[in-house]
Chain A
């Protein structure tokens, strides 16, 4: 049977000590080789699928230009501001929804149903309120990451074991001590998870807005390259964007750490 052969092959691969990293590298090489073959075959427009060498040169040119770093800084600042604003409002909303059964039941359906709506439909309003510059991008990112962070904080609040609160009360902890020593640490794993989700969504919201209408940022550079049909430069920008997203996730992952639970 073919499928048992595959299974046997996989078992052999594990025994022979092929690491996960090796598999990843092989996949990447295969994809790049496929790209290169398509680019050189002449079956596709060379301008749409340029050879790797061309993209490589475009990437080097991009990374040695000052304008790129300035625009990257704009995007990073926008995402961080969006996460700070949307995250703190989302966290406070989540605490309110999770802490009060009444507010939770009254308001949570709105968050559930608005959450999956594409926030880009609010972008015209954001432009009218906050202008064409970074303000409207921050607003888009903030609105996007508000939802997952609010829902995670509400869930984290509800998951706190009732007995831990009774322990705090039995030792006569003040409201402030209860918040700092019981509620916040107990909610930490759920909230960190929300921030991780929120970061990804803030990046999406911010960049989407930048590609729609803007005058600076990575999204702006991508659309600029596209409008003059400079495909190698556009691909180089996409590569830097992947690197940015992976790096940002790694940083949040480190902050979150492994959740200590029984």
Chain B
């Protein structure tokens, strides 16, 4: 598991954190001058935890996602995974994208096999692993369908299975349920909770949805509107194993209210600014 020779931890799980962000800053040059999308953000992800990053639209969440995933090279500060600095897409980080990202010309099983093909895993092993993860996301029986024959929620599950099959240490997701309706989103949240608890999968979720973040997370990082800074870290002390039933508990409501209190001024600032720009 540990490819890093400099890793000093003798036992897995003893590491204080699997991923850390140190003073990460990203500026873009725009016509109106430099724009600071992500401003000096630092945080750690602990092994096995579900951590969400929440913020209003335009706070640089997706920029942070791309930096952690190694797809945006020119930034200040460092992302470290298992003591290794991320300088490009890292094998320990598995990304799930916001957009429709299944390959339309591949069947479900071939989509899920994709990362294993890239890694030159032998075919029999590839199919075994792919079937296991298709089963895990609840799509057994759909192996030979094309994405065009599936619903949006099923396609996003294919994308999640495709990322899980590469067995990343950290599952990194950017608003994976943004395009789905509320009920599908809650049910898919249940599926993600179940998988995450079963695999003890360390997960980092980028979202703008408060209920989704509270439903799934152990901790939530709240970001400010432009420039995107870390505003607060909220520990979500709801019982585990968890299902979507928690949304009806009073404690859940209290967390949602608390985070909305933090987000409200950021979101209204963002709204005012975009209206002024119009």
Chain A residues contacting B166 (CB-CB under 8 Å) are 171
**Interface residue A262 (Cβ < 8 Å from any Cβ of B):** yes
A120 to B106, CA, bound (A): 42
Q: How far is the CA of A166 from the CA of B101 in the complex (A)?
A: 9
15 interchain pairs (CB within 8 A)? A161-B99, A163-B97, A163-B100, A167-B101, A170-B70, A170-B89, A170-B94, A171-B114, A181-B114, A181-B117, A181-B118, A260-B146, A261-B148, A262-B100, A262-B148
- CB distance A172 to B100 under 8 Å? no
Q: How far is the CB of A168 from chain B (nearest CB, A)?
A: 8
Closest beta carbon of chain A to B91's beta carbon, Å: 7
Residue of A nearest to B98 (CB): A163
Which residues does A use to contact B, with CB under 8 Å?
A: 161, 163-164, 166-173, 177, 181-182, 185-186, 188, 260-262
| Docked complex Cα distance between A185 and B114 (Å) | 13
In the assembled complex, the CB of B61 is this many whole angstroms from the nearest CB of chain A, namely 16
Complex A-B, nearest 10 residue pairs according to Cβ-Cβ distance, in ascending order: A163-B99, A170-B95, A171-B115, A185-B105, A163-B101, A262-B148, A173-B118, A171-B118, A172-B89, A170-B89
Instruction: Return chain B residues, CB-CB under 8 Å to A182.
Output: 103
Contact for B97 among A166, A185, A188, A262, CB less than 8 A: A166
Task: Please tell me if the beta carbons of A262 and B104 are within 8 angstroms of each other in the complex.
Answer: yes
A-contacting residues of B (Cβ < 8 Å)?
Answer: 69-71, 88-89, 91, 93-95, 97, 99-101, 103-106, 114-115, 117-119, 146-148, 166
| Interface majority SS (helix, strand, loop, mixed), chain B | loop
A148 and B216 CA atoms in complex are apart in Å by: 52
A171 to B89, CA, bound (A): 7
Q: Which residues of B contact A170 (CB under 8 A)?
A: 69-71, 89, 93-95
Cβ–Cβ contact A262 & B99, under 8 A: no
User: Bound state CA distance, A173 and B88, in angstroms?
Assistant: 12
Instruction: Name A172's contact: one of B91, B101, B106 (CB within 8 Å).
Output: B91
A124 to chain B, nearest CB (A): 45
Q: For B117, list chain A residues within 8 Å (CB).
A: 177, 181
The answer to whether A262 and B147 have CB atoms under 8 Å apart is yes
Given contact pairs A167-B97, A262-B147, A188 touches B105 in the complex (Cβ within 8 A): yes
Smallest Cβ distance from B98 to chain A, in angstroms? 8
Task: List chain B residues, Cβ under 8 A from A177.
Answer: 117-118
